[in-house]
Structure formats: C-alpha cells, structure tokens
Amino acid sequence: MVNSRIILHIDLDAFYAAVEERETPKLKGKPVIVGADPKNGQGRGVVATCNYLAREFGVRSAMPISKAWKLCPQGIYVRPNFLLYAKVSHDIMTIIRKYSDKFEQVGIDEAFIDVTDKVNDFEDAGKLAEKLKKEILNKEKISASVGIGPNKLIAKLASDYKKPYGTTVVKPEDVKRFLDPLPARKLIGIGPKTEAVLKEMKIETVSQLAKADAKTLVDVFGVFGYRMHEMALGMDESEVAEGGEIKSIGRETTFEEDVDNPEIIFDAIDELVDEFHEELIASNIQFKTITIKIRYENFETHTHAKTFEFHTNDKELIKDTAKALSQPFLNVGRKVRLIGIRVSVLKFKEKQKTLLAL
Ligand code: TTP
Ligand code: MG
C-alpha cells in the first residue's frame, strides 16, 4: 500500500520539430528549427522550438530567429503548421487518457494523469510510463518524456529532468534529494527577473530557497513569495483536474524592463493574442470569458475578466476587450512587469472532415 498519490507528467520531446520530422523523413539527422522565416538572417520573428540536434548549436525556443540563423546557418528552417500539431496533439492525448480518467491536459504537448488507483507503487508506475511512451512512439512516431512524483509539481519537474525519451521517478522519500540541487528558476513562475532578485538575496538553488525565511520572501515578492517557498519544499496539493479538455488558453509575457507606456503594453497584448489565437483556430475552440493579468513592478498582481453572453473566437474582440480591461490598471504611477491574457469557458467544436484529412 502506498499512502502517497502517484502522478505522471507526460511532455512530448521537441514537439513541433518532432512532428515535422515525422512528416518529412528527409529532415531526420539534420538540425530542424520551427518558427518565423529567417530571411537569410534578417527575419524578425522567433523560434517556436527546434530538435535536439539544433539545440547542440545553442538554438532555443523564443530566441530571435536571426540569432538562430547565426548559430546554425546549416539548419532546416520550417514555418509552423499549427493545424497539424493540434491534430497530432489530440491523437496523442487520446492515447494518454486511456491510462487514467484522472487526466488533465495542460498545454499542446503536456498532460498529467493520476494513477494512484491504477498501480501498486512507484516502480509499477515506472513500468506503466514505459508502456505509455512505447505506445505513443509506435502509434504516433513521437517521443515523450515522463516524470513521476507524489504531486504535480514534482512530476512536472521530473519529466524535464531527462529528455528526450526519459523516465524519471521521484518517490516521496527522494523529493528533497531531487529538488535541492535544482536551480530555483526551474520552479513554475520564476523567470529571469525573479531569478535575478533571488540571486541578490544569495538564493540560487531550490535548497537555498527552501532554507530562506518565508516572511522575507513574502515581503519581497508578495503572496508568490509564500508559494515559492512551498514549492521549494516540494509541496503541492493541487489535484489532477478531471474532465480532460484544456480549461483555458492564454499567454503571458514579462517585459525585459518594467514599462509604464500603455502603447508598449497594448503592442504586447496584440502580440500575445496573435500567438494564442492561432491555437484557438487550429483546435477549433471558442470561448466566453477573457481574463487579463497585470503584475506591477512590486509584484502586486491583478486580474480582471469579462464574460460574453455568447461563445466566440474573434481575434479583434479579444484584443479590444483585453485593452479595455487593462486600461484602469495603467497610468497609475506604477510600472508593469508582466501582462497576461487568458480565455476560458471553452467550447470545442467538431473539426470538419476536410480539415482532419491532412
Ligand atoms: P515545450 O514542451 O516547452 O518544448 P518542446 O516540446 O519543443 O521541447 P522539450 O523536448 O524541451 O519539451 O513546448 C511545446 C511546444 O510549444 C513546442 O514544440 C513549440 C511550442 N512553443 C512555442 O511555440 N514557443 C515557446 O517559447 C515554447 C517554449 C514552446
Ligand atoms: Mg515538450
């Protein structure tokens, strides 16, 4: 008998690039970069992702495509095909959810399943993970990595620990040993800026964060300071939400420098909406509620939402609503460090047959 939950986090390896390699076998063995048109080094967009070969050249997600071109001019540059990724994602999620009805998809290429009632212990869960990975590889020709832990936080960190095609099992008694040496930035919500502030406080590893005084962290980061400390101790009570489908879709961005110019914030809103709107269209999703999130330079965070009477996927409506919702939080004498937009109360429309026959 185990008295801990057993949670799996499955994350596909180099997902968009893996799909491209599957579709175009001649890409195999070459560095593949999916993203904006590099235009011989003059392109302005960013890298969505790249395969592991391209990563050896230093190419990474979200890097300017012009920089990727400098690092890896011999790479094969491919424009994203979101419609195809959404279909492959859907097919793989259908495989994963067979392994437990406690299934929660959290992104296009990742999901949690709670297998507490399906296995005897963590060893057993490891075997289940191997079976799941093989099934995804055989049926869909896509490689996945799996993390297993007593909660979602540990499972997610574990799936990232050994990639590609890794399985990492972290039993309750191993949590501290697993977490302590990790850099603090691995924890959810700790981006480059928070990392820099922590560094000034002489906190670089999870172990140092765990030993820090929770009250001091709250003084510096607000409530997130408290959550940070809990995460460093490996604590996460959140359930694997049942019901399957994604509950919301959104994006957020932390500005390189805190901003007070609403124009820059509105530009960022346009960019964020352009990005995730592609996902809405590709997955045929409509929504009723739009929520914006604004975090000020002092980490004070506000959200503000509007719910429509109807489902929609209108891009301009999202942009206009997000700007209107943000307006009261701007020009208030405080700079903004993060802006986020999320849509929820989703409706998944059946795909047309013609679209599925890719
Ligand atoms: P990730 O799972 O973060 O990355 P990945 O699957 O490409 O690679 P890894 O093996 O490290 O998991 O993201 C899933 C997909 O989301 C990715 O294939 C492309 C897309 N994506 C972006 O478009 N922009 C980004 O900045 C990131 C991080 C991902
Ligand atoms: Mg992935």
pTM over 0.85: no
Per-residue pLDDT of the chain in tens (358 residues, 90 and over written 9)? 447 999 999 999 999 999 999 999 999 999 999 999 999 999 888 899 999 999 999 999 989 999 999 999 999 999 998 888 988 999 999 999 999 989 998 888 999 999 999 999 999 999 999 999 999 999 999 999 999 999 999 999 999 999 999 999 999 999 999 999 999 999 988 988 899 999 999 999 999 999 999 999 999 998 899 999 999 999 999 999 875 566 788 888 888 789 999 999 999 999 999 888 888 887 778 999 999 999 999 888 899 999 999 999 999 999 999 999 999 999 888 999 999 999 988 887 654 444 443 3
**How far, in Å, CA of 43 to CA of 36, rounded?**
7
Catalytic (active site) residue 110: yes
Q: CA 223 to CA 22: how far, in whole Å?
A: 44
> What is the DSSP track for 244-261?
BS-SEEEEEEEEEEEE--
Best mutation site among 61, 162, 168 for ligand 1, i.e. most ligand atoms within 8 A of its Cβ?
61
Sheet holding 76-78, edge to edge: 47-50, 32-35, 76-78
CA distance 276 to 285: 11
Q: Which atom of ligand 1 is nearest to the CA of 52?
A: 10
The DSSP 8-state label assigned to residue 185 in this structure reads: G
- 310/301 Cα distance (integer angstroms): 28
Calculated CA dihedral for residues 184, 189, 195, 199, nearest 10 degrees: -60
| Of 116, 34, 135, nearest in space to 80 by CA | 34
C-alpha 112/C-alpha 117 separation (Å) is: 15
Among 20, 21, 104, 110, the active-site one is 110
